[in-house]
Structure 1
């Protein structure tokens, strides 16, 4: 597909990287020479210097034949005008990044009037992700499928956990729960789809998928079930903090925000009358101690500097706060944080890239099975996807034991006639089912992409 990305900042570069790796024809437009040079040297993309909202720059990029244009500059207004102009010049599908809280209230009208097909708000998506984690504090990350009926979470194995050092085939406690261990990131940095012979070790990061009740029961079994958060401490009062505070207040959670900018503090105080807003430097450990940070159930670092977020999050962990979450857009920082024991690291950049990749793959596969969800897991080395089975899906009603899947593919959950099924060898995929897949090293567009046809001999199955 021909895809134009306007704006080569953190989100734009991440999108260009992912889309070019999936062999799309990607063009990047930006006014910054250094950003274009970096993209040109690091990625297989075409670069155009210019204002993405100008007709000349869009025409130079070939907008008239573009399948998708993604406007991800730092200015919402430029993004919206860019999409409107691009659609009139012939672009088939327009995606705009819109971050302003005020615009978020008027999105349906903006989309209709300007001809924007999809609006992405990284800050709001990040706030939703953090709110999910605070609902299930035991998890390092949490993704939802089938409108919340299935959840995927991760956690770090500790010394003394009952599953450490034992093959999964011997873990009889797990076999009775409506959940499945679907992926693992080992201490050595390897990402694997585990089978019965896999032996979890302390320090491994395991991914579980299943019904929320099964995951809750598992953490009770593990001795890590924690009650719902009642108080949350936020450092940084930007847009994410605003969106998150609104969500948490609706859940009856008390929010305390530290923000260094006085004008921003005044604005937050007006918009969030039930939150406690403190003007100060959230990276000052003395101030955090004065504000009794240890009395909070959860701590979230949301400043605009990844380094500060990680440092103050590690400090919060040392103070014994049970749930600590840090925002970081740099993937290499996430690895450092995980090595230090900080598992919940949220990247707005990767969340946005995942949302857009789901749209792109859905458009590529317009005649196949429908992709309802796509999440990057294991620091982007694996993916979790939700598909709807239709008449185009091959090998329907064939027992899974008779299928031969590509290496690194796992059918994790089936939803059959409204019932959640953790599949075994006798399970089958039927028309109308929802299928949740885990994939390592494959860009899956359709359920049919999971089969290794060279190994299949099913006598001309469907």
Structure 2
């Protein structure tokens, strides 16, 4: 496809890079000359230095022969205008980022449909939903649901004294017979490994697994964790993301405390929230954290507008007794840094937004998609069409790339954790883990 990306910040750059890897014809429009230099030196894309809401710039980008426009600048109005212009040129698919909830959640705009926009994504709401998933599963550094919730994808740090330590994956067969799961990747000392049966789990590994929902407790036990229910959460930062997280959690029955520095914002939060306790103060003030019972909290979630504050507050929350620490960061390269400091999970709204958009770009082929938060890798759910090259083949004969792995198959009501002799059938929902360089080949193998 020919795709125009308007805006080349972290979201736009990440999307453009992935689209190029998948052999799309990509044009990027951005006003910043430094961005242009970076793109031209690092990606095989045409770059136009201009305002993305300019008809002249869109014409120069070849809007009349474009299949899709993705507008992800930091200015909502520019994104909406670019999509409106694309509609007038007959562009088939229009995607826009909109931070303002008065736009993204407006009943009148119908999620952008009234403007002819196919996907209108609010990054704050998207990341709030991801944070809520992580709060629900205390041991998980990353969590996603596939096959309508029947299959879970988890990233979990190996606990001290975990029963699975130093055990070859091939020797886990007796456990897997009753509690099927498949370890699809291991993050170890700055490297991402696609393991075979001879690989073994080592201390401090982060393990990525695909498993049936009912097998999650046993898998967590093997990694040295007990499954527990989250009953309380301490949110530091009451901005748009903090409010959205609090609303999701209190609707699920979690006891929420929100600590916000600005008194006026505290009053606003108190009016908006039904059962959460709103407190005014500094999230890095140890005295406040201790007085408000941080030691008894199942999770501390730091979602202020300053990522340095978020990292420090998450570390303090963990240091003074919170069971789990989740931090919001703006720069994706801070995610591995946060993990190395002992923060259980870190999320970037930009990467979450890019992941949602990439899933939409691949719709039809891809039912669901999740990117690893600290690696260029992803797990996706595909429906195998009749006539796909893999239909009727055993997995060991399917010629999958070395860095791609089928983690689970959902066939009618049955969930299968596959082995090498498992045969793929048309209509199977396949949960597949892959590195970026193999995405195009995987989609050819599973295409109709």
Q: TM-score, normalised by structure 2?
A: 0.92
Within a 5 Å distance, the mapping from 1:42-53 to structure 2 comes to: 42-53=42-53
Within a 5 Å distance, the mapping from 1:17-96 to structure 2 comes to: 17-96=17-96
Matched, 1:405 2:406: no
401-410 vs 306-315, greater mean Cα deviation: 401-410
Corresponding position of 2:327: 326
Provide, for residues 358-417 of structure 1, a one-character-per-residue CA deviation record: whole Å limited to 9, x for no partner. 23334xxx6xxx211122226233221111111131242233344332211211111112
Q: 1:105 to 1:359 in 2, by over 3 A?
A: closer
Instruction: Indicate if the aligned counterparts of 1:125 and 1:348 stay in contact, CA closer than 8 A.
Output: yes
Q: In structure 2, how many angstroms separate the alpha carbons of the residues matched to 1:296 and 1:115?
A: 45
Instruction: Indicate if the aligned counterparts of 1:5 and 1:72 stay in contact, CA closer than 8 A.
Output: yes
Q: 1:316 to 1:272 in 2, by over 3 A?
A: same
**Secondary structure in 2 matching 1:331:** coil
Instruction: Indicate if the aligned counterparts of 1:30 and 1:52 stay in contact, CA closer than 8 A.
Output: yes
Matched, 1:438 2:433: yes
1:325 shift after superposition: 0.5
310-319 vs 374-383, greater mean Cα deviation: 374-383
Instruction: Indicate if the aligned counterparts of 1:393 and 1:447 stay in contact, CA closer than 8 A.
Output: no
Q: Which runs of 5 or more residues in structure 2 are unaligned?
A: none
Within a 5 Å distance, the mapping from 1:62-211 to structure 2 comes to: 62-106=62-106, 109-171=110-172, 172-187=174-189, 189-211=190-212
Provide, for residues 220-261 of structure 1, a one-character-per-residue CA deviation record: whole Å limited to 9, x for no partner. 454522422222111111221121111111111122112223
Instruction: Indicate if the aligned counterparts of 1:387 and 1:447 stay in contact, CA closer than 8 A.
Output: no
Corresponding position of 2:318: 317
Q: In structure 1, how many angstroms separate the alpha carbons of the residues matched to 2:194 and 2:55?
A: 48
Instruction: Indicate if the aligned counterparts of 2:68 and 2:94 stay in contact, CA closer than 8 A.
Output: yes
Within a 5 Å distance, the mapping from 1:288-437 to structure 2 comes to: 288-362=289-363, 370-377=365-372, 379-437=374-432
Q: 1:13 to 1:54 in 2, by over 3 A?
A: same
Corresponding position of 1:457: none
Q: In structure 2, how many angstroms separate the alpha carbons of the residues matched to 1:195 and 1:100?
A: 46
Instruction: Indicate if the aligned counterparts of 2:335 and 2:373 stay in contact, CA closer than 8 A.
Output: no
Provide, for residues 25-72 of structure 1, a one-character-per-residue CA deviation record: whole Å limited to 9, x for no partner. 333323344444444444433333333223223222222222211111
Matched, 1:216 2:217: yes
226-235 vs 16-25, greater mean Cα deviation: 16-25
Q: In structure 2, how many angstroms separate the alpha carbons of the residues matched to 1:273 and 1:400?
A: 51
Q: In structure 2, how many angstroms separate the alpha carbons of the residues matched to 1:47 and 1:147?
A: 39
Could you say what the CA RMSD is over the residues aligned between the two structures, in angstroms? Answer: 2.3
Corresponding position of 1:7: 7
Q: In structure 1, how many angstroms separate the alpha carbons of the residues matched to 2:27 and 2:380?
A: 27
Q: In structure 1, how many angstroms separate the alpha carbons of the residues matched to 2:214 and 2:368?
A: 21
**Secondary structure in 1 matching 2:279:** strand
Q: In structure 1, how many angstroms separate the alpha carbons of the residues matched to 2:90 and 2:293?
A: 57
1:448 shift after superposition: 5.7
290-299 vs 232-241, greater mean Cα deviation: 290-299
Q: TM-score, normalised by structure 1?
A: 0.89
1:110 shift after superposition: 5.0
Instruction: Indicate if the aligned counterparts of 1:155 and 1:206 stay in contact, CA closer than 8 A.
Output: yes
Give the aligned length: 445
Q: In structure 1, how many angstroms separate the alpha carbons of the residues matched to 2:112 and 2:232?
A: 36
1:422 shift after superposition: 0.7
1:441 shift after superposition: 4.3
Q: 1:409 to 1:415 in 2, by over 3 A?
A: same
Corresponding position of 1:247: 248
Q: 1:73 to 1:208 in 2, by over 3 A?
A: same
284-293 vs 240-249, greater mean Cα deviation: 284-293
Q: 1:449 to 1:378 in 2, by over 3 A?
A: farther
Q: 1:259 to 1:41 in 2, by over 3 A?
A: farther
Q: Which runs of 5 or more residues in structure 1 are unaligned?
A: 452-461
Q: 1:34 to 1:289 in 2, by over 3 A?
A: farther
